[in-house]
Amino acid sequence: MNAPASNLTINGTRLWDSLMALASIGATPKGGVCRLALTDLDKQGRDLVVSWAREAGLSITTDKIGNVFMRRAGRNNALPPIATGSHIDTQPTGGKFDGNYGVLAGIEVIRTLNDHNIETEAPVEVCFWTNEEGSRFVPVMMGSGVFAKAFSLETAYAAKDTTGATVRDELARIGYIGDQEPGDHPLGAYFEAHIEQGPVLEDADITIGVVTGVLGLRWYDCVVTGMEAHAGPTPMALRKDALQIATKIMQETVAIALRYPPYGRGTVGMVHVHPNSRNVIPGQVKFSIDLRNVDSTRLDAMDGEIKAFVKQCADESGLGISLEQVSYFPPCPFEEGCVTAVREGAKNLGFSLMDVVSGAGHDAVYMARLAPAGMIFVPCKDGISHNEIEDAKPEHLEAGCNVLLHAMLDRAKRV
């Protein structure tokens, strides 16, 4: 006899045990995980997750970029599946939960449906995407990006790591080049459960983040070119100091973000100073600029401001300054129906909740181009991720998985 929908909950201990079992593959001495995409350890992780899917009675499909789809049949298998997932590759000094939680939460949803003999109208599917992290191969979010036709399979195949190994060769080596063309796999809707990777939920003592969208971003490379000279004999008024002008642009990057609250973000994360000598006036500075905001209007305004400020600095200083945009992701609002399903699931289960916007990119960004999509965030300790000390409470992970279960049932329609 089926359990009433309102009483249906996942097995939190089983979810935690699965997370710890996967985390043992590539475990690091400091308690994290190093399981880079398409390595032998990635193969072991993939094989383990696929074995759990087979034990749960799921059919397995793999596409040519190595994305894996694990399907539980519905009453009407002509309907596109209601999917969930994330990734199982990690950063070199990654944690146990980033990405892995989203995949194993999906497996736990399936196990729970099986436990209670629940049939859904549409099929339900769990997927994991190849090379989300981009640590070994670029671009990031590779598998989902190829699936969404953001870039070609050939481009992805040709990507090389620092040793010269290609994505195609490594996929073949670990046995994960499938037959299906990426994107030739319909989706009815897509949900992704994830640790927040930031401090907002923990700071507010909230269990569930209802993710309404993902910040758009513009990345730039800025180069300021002046003239190297001896730090002692050269008077201040006669210097062409590239670093002094560069720091003005860096400070303006932060100031621009502060003028567009609450979701304005401005970061300079990478700086190269030439010649980087103690007693030489810097002749050239190369640095990154990262601007983010929640909607295109604000992000475009920030873009206009940084370009105008760079031109002003060039005009006033007489130095050469180039500003090149190297990456652009438009803001990604999630589909209102999926957002509502997450919100109502959290409310009905009695969890504290708040609407949040993701500052980091996720595979759900690409899925939102193809189907209705939504995300569920749970807190992580001190907001820390991409770090071996990344941590999350079992009860929060369980809560997020329960919300995922009910959001997916809302879309898949329990029979």
Q: What is the pLDDT along the chain (415 residues), one digit of tens a residue?
A: 344 456 899 999 999 999 999 999 999 999 999 999 999 999 999 999 999 999 999 999 999 999 999 999 999 999 999 999 999 999 999 999 999 999 999 999 999 999 999 999 999 999 999 999 999 999 999 999 999 999 999 999 999 999 999 999 999 999 999 999 999 999 999 999 999 999 999 999 999 999 999 999 999 999 999 999 999 999 999 999 999 999 999 999 999 999 999 999 999 999 999 999 999 999 999 999 999 999 999 999 999 999 999 999 999 999 999 999 988 999 999 999 999 999 999 999 999 999 999 998 899 999 999 999 999 999 999 999 999 999 999 999 999 999 999 999 999 998 7
**Both tokens of residue 56?**
């749960």
User: In the prediction, which pLDDT does 1 show?
Assistant: 36
Distances (CA, A) of 177 to 11, 42, 43, 182, 415: 33, 14, 12, 11, 35
Q: What is the pTM of this model?
A: 0.91
Q: Map out the domains of the chain with their CATH numbers.
A: 5-214+331-412 (3.40.630.10), 216-329 (3.30.70.360)
Among the listed residues 364, 350, 353, 218, the one whose alpha carbon sits nearest the alpha carbon of residue 293: 218
**Helix 40-55 with 167-174: angle, nearest 10 deg:** 50
DSSP state, residue 213 = E
C-alpha span between 390 and 96 (Å, rounded): 7
Among the listed residues 190, 150, 188, the one whose alpha carbon sits nearest the alpha carbon of residue 330: 150
What is the CB-side half-sphere exposure of residue 43 using CA atoms within 13 A? 11
